[in-house]
Amino acid sequence: MKATRGCAAALLVAFALASRPGAQSPAAPDNIPDFSGIWDGTARARPVNSDNVPWTRGKNFPEVNERALAYMKVFDEAIAPKYDCQPATPPAIEYDPYMMEVVQWPDRVLFRYEKDDQLRTVWLDGRKPTSLDFSLQGFSVGHYEGNALIVETTNFVFDITGFDDYNGIPSSSQKRVRERYWRDGSDLRVTVTVEDPMFLRKPAEYTTRWIPGPKGYRLSAFNCDPESARASVKFMPAKYK
Amino acid sequence: MTVQRYLSAAAVSIAAALVLSAASTLAHHATTAFYDSSKKVEAQGKVTKFVFMNPHAYLYIDAPNASGTIVNWQIELGAPISLKRTGWTPETIQVGAELKVVGAPSRAEGTYGICCARITRPDGTPIVAGGRVTEERPEEQKEKK
């Protein structure tokens, strides 16, 4: 019993140390780029997401196929799962205008998103997803390449707004998301590339940035309230009776 | 550059900052499907409820509609997790307080919603001392420029 308590206490201390804003995990190797800390993805860092951001018509708007167009045509904003507190997923979650925390451990990188209390774990130890690993955020593996972190995520479940919730573009279980993170001065940058042969004719990508979060800032619990999430849906004229 | 131009430039900068802060707090969903930003509606009355929950805070007030009947208006605010950083708390607005709200009306017939609103006391004074109390639409800020 004492040993169990000792281990639990050690784990708690380790996570607390690794979660300090702006702090490098004490266990992280020295020869990797430092992405750890709180990152600000709000309007202070970049334009806020909309039906034309980060996917901009005439620039990087995805070339969707007939299947996607059919889904987009019947899409009804009221059915968007976010109105029931279902969180955004890659490639949208990286562009949500909120704070994010990165924690680097030797065998994994943790991305904690303040919005919807989401945690994505990027495994660095070579493990592969199994057939039981399908989920909303998928299964992420990664490695460092020079000064960059490369993340590959697969094993997503079908999501009616899984590509973009502002344009009602779905994503399938064949969605693959590649993220390349690097430091640009004090900024954290990422290029997000998405493939989904069920809905996209070719890969689509955007690049964005975060700025360092406010000094001493700690992520708060979001605790999405389903009643508040859906409270304004009644203000939309109904598309379907 | 004249002093006046300096002041104009400063005003534009401040307005831009406000646009950005407002946009960030309204970023859970697009508002155009719900609210008609080409119109403006005003409601003044007593607060019946203030819900400070993510992803959106809501303020409810009893106030007359266009035909003079008292109805319960639902005013959509930003995410509390963002509002907190601008000085808002669950206690910022008390039930029974008299407030004036001006913003974009909801689209569905027979509903009484307001978004992207300027919220003040009836005399136009702010409700948060030293803090931002408005969540104006980006279009409004552009018009001001």
What's the CA gap between A186 and B15, in Å, rounded?
26
Q: What is the ipTM of this complex?
A: 0.84
Buried b (16+ CB within 10 A) or exposed e, A204-236: bbbebebbbbeeebebeebebbeebbebbbebb
Q: Count of CB atoms within 10 A of residue A96's CB?
A: 21
Residues B39-92: pLDDT tens digits?
Answer: 999 999 999 999 999 999 999 999 999 999 999 999 999 999 999 988 899 999
pLDDT over 60 at A121, yes or no: yes
Of A104, A96, A116, the closest CA to residue A22 belongs to: A104
Query: Mean of the per-residue pLDDT values for chain A?
Result: 90
B70 vs B57: CA distance, rounded Å: 22
Give the closest-approach CA distance of A131 to chain B in angstroms. Answer: 32
Q: Which of B26, B29, B116 to mutate: most A Cβ within 10 Å? A: B29
CB contact under 8 A, B108 and A238: yes
- In this prediction, residue B9 carries a pLDDT of 36
Q: What single-letter amino acid sits at A146?
A: G
Under 8 Å between Cβ of A97 and B24: yes
Residue-level pLDDT at A28: 54
Confidence (pLDDT) at A174: 98
Give dist(CA A175, CA A172) in Å, integer.
5
> Residue A235 is nearest to which of B79, B82, B113, comparing CB atoms?
B113
- Residue A114 — very low, low, confident or very high, per pLDDT cuts 50/70/90? very high
Across the range A21-48, mean pLDDT stands at: 79
Q: By a Cβ cutoff of 8 Å, what residues of chain B touch chain A?
A: 20-21, 23-24, 26-30, 33-35, 51, 53-58, 74, 76, 79, 81-82, 84-85, 106-109, 111, 113, 115
Q: What is the pLDDT of residues B80-111, one digit of tens each?
A: 999 998 889 999 999 999 999 999 999 999 99
Look at residue B8 and tell me whether its pLDDT is greater than 60. no
Q: How far is CA A225 from CA A25, A85, A95, A228, B79, in A?
A: 33, 7, 21, 5, 11
**Residue, of B25 and A151, whose pLDDT is higher:** A151
Cα Rg, chain B, nearest whole Å: 16
Q: What percent helix, strand, coil does chain B show, rounded to 5? A: 25, 30, 45
B1 pLDDT band (50/70/90 cuts)? very low
**A54 to chain B: which residues are within 8 Å by CB?**
none
The burial of B83, by beta-carbon neighbours within 10 Å (0-12 exposed, 13-18 middle, 19 or more buried), is given as buried
- Confidence at residue B16, expressed as pLDDT on a 0 to 100 scale: 32
Q: What pLDDT is stored for residue B102 in this prediction?
A: 96
Q: What is the DSSP string of A1-51?
A: -HHHHHHHHHHHHHHHHHTSTTPPPTTS-TTS----EEEE-STTTSPPPBT
CA A76 remoteness from chain centre? 24
What residues have CB less than 8 Å from A9, skipping those under 6 apart? Answer: none
Q: Which two tokens stand for residue A240?
A: 């379907």
Phi-psi region of A69 (alpha: psi -120 to 50; beta: other; left: phi over 0): alpha
DSSP B57: -
pTM: 0.81
pLDDT of residue A14 exceeding 70, the answer is no
Do B106 and B112 form a contact (C-beta atoms < 8 A)?
yes
Q: Name A20's Cβ contacts closer than 8 Å, sequence gap at least 6.
A: none
